[in-house]
Amino acid sequence: MSSELNRADAELAAGKYGKALRIAWNVVLDALRHKDVEVLRQAADLSTRIAEASSGKDREGAEQLARYAIASIDDIDNGTTQPSFWQRVLGKSAIPTKKCPDCAETIKREAQVCRFCGYRYSPSE
């Protein structure tokens, strides 16, 4: 994990969600420049944990960041071009997510199979 993510993690542990989120944003934007999928994945995971721990505006922001990071991972995986940050955040392309009950990674809400661990959802889930 990058040192910046460790810092964000420490702020999260201290209950400073706004600060943790700001650091996480910087990590995501930096990882995007380098197309660093591993860091994006860690940042998405951290954002999900911030969202779970916080409430109100911090929670909204953290959920947004998690979605953005995951959408970016997909784009890099697919080799598609990167839409602008605001297109992603404000546009209709924001992808709803859910948390895998098996490995706790954040995945697309419509996914039938977890892309991280292979967990299979029953059709009713």
- 22, 36, 98, 34: which is closest to 65 by C-alpha? 22
Contact assessment for residue 70 and residue 108, using Cβ atoms and an 8 Å cutoff: yes
- Extract the tokens encoding 12: 């999260």
- Shortest reach from residue 114's CB to Zn ion, in Å: 3
Contact call for residue 65 and Zn ion (CB under 5 A) = no
- Shortest reach from residue 107's CB to Zn ion, in Å: 7
- Shortest reach from residue 115's CB to Zn ion, in Å: 8
Q: Pick the binder of Zn ion from 10, 90, 113, 117 (CB under 5 A).
A: 117
Contact assessment for residue 21 and residue 58, using Cβ atoms and an 8 Å cutoff: yes
Contact call for residue 38 and Zn ion (CB under 5 A) = no
Contact assessment for residue 97 and residue 70, using Cβ atoms and an 8 Å cutoff: yes
Can you tell me whether residue 108 is helix, strand or coil? strand
Q: Which range in 8-16, 66-74, 76-84, 102-110 contacts Zn ion by CB under 5 A?
A: 102-110
Contact call for residue 119 and Zn ion (CB under 5 A) = yes
Q: Pick the binder of Zn ion from 102, 109, 110, 113 (CB under 5 A).
A: 102
Contact assessment for residue 115 and residue 107, using Cβ atoms and an 8 Å cutoff: yes
- Shortest reach from residue 40's CB to Zn ion, in Å: 17
Written as one letter, the residue type at 114 is C
- Applying CB under 5 A, the residues found at the interface with Zn ion are 100, 102-103, 114, 116-117, 119
